[in-house]
């Protein structure tokens, strides 16, 4: 998969007049490997391979990758956003306020709510950016 990801990223960057750098590829690879990761976690993973990459490069690259449609983010706490691969099926994040565990819920579970909001309020819910906070079964 890394070669396919490299070609995909290179093509998207070339279309914008940009080039594929090792840092950009490392950031994308880290997001895909970590599944859900903050910029700091991505930075730590990238630094295991290339210690000279700074956190500012990671933040800028994550913004670029999101503009390109390769990654997306959600806010799972009051801190930094959490990034994940946009190619993965969109899902809802369930965040435990006690133990900070994050589990996933299929977006189809919220489909009735999304449909009701659309029909009653004209509101189109972006389910890929939904995080629901509460207590998990172990903490409740």
Dihedral sign (CA 105, 63, 41, 96): negative
2 Cβ contact list (under 8 Å, min separation 6): 29
Residue numbers belonging to the annotated binding site for Zn(2+): 96, 99, 136, 139
Helices (H), the chain: 2-15, 22-34, 39-49, 55-67, 111-121
């Amino acid at each position: 998969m890394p070669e396919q990801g490299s070609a995909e990223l290179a093509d998207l960057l070339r279309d914008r007049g940009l080039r594929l750098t090792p840092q950009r590829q490392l950031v994308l690879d880290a997001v895909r490997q970590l599944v859900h990761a903050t910029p700091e976690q991505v930075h730590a993973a990238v630094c295991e391979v290339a210690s000279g990459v700074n956190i500012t490069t990671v933040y800028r690259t994550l913004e670029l990758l999101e503009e390109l449609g390769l990654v997306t983010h959600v806010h799972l706490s009051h801190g930094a956003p959490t990034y994940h691969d946009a190619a993965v099926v969109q899902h809802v994040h369930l965040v435990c306020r006690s133990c900070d565990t994050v589990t996933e819920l299929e977006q189809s579970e919220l489909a009735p709510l999304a449909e009701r909001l659309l029909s009653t309020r004209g509101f189109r819910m972006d389910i890929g950016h939904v995080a629901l906070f509460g207590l998990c079964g172990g903490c409740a």
